Structure 1
């Protein structure tokens, strides 16, 4: 377990134990999760498009 002192997104001081463990404050964690989900969705869409073009 790593104990982060600052948020990995906005560099603010982390206060809660869960935030220090994740490395993100609650708002930045949510934004980071949303960005990761969007990236994964776009990657899947591209893969489906390429499969349709090949098949």
Structure 2
């Protein structure tokens, strides 16, 4: 629970991830699933990094 909140906060503060999120979620012709497989891998990588940090 706590680490997911930390992850959400780090998403808000990271300019790179916010750019990535904007392109993912604000794109008009985005697929039904919010994340493509490549982006899911990237997010999982970020989560693993956060788990290492905490």
Flag whether TM exceeds 0.5 (same fold).
Answer: no
TM-score by length of 2: 0.44
TM-score by length of 1: 0.43
Higher RCO (CA < 8 A, seq sep 6+): 2
Larger radius of gyration: 1
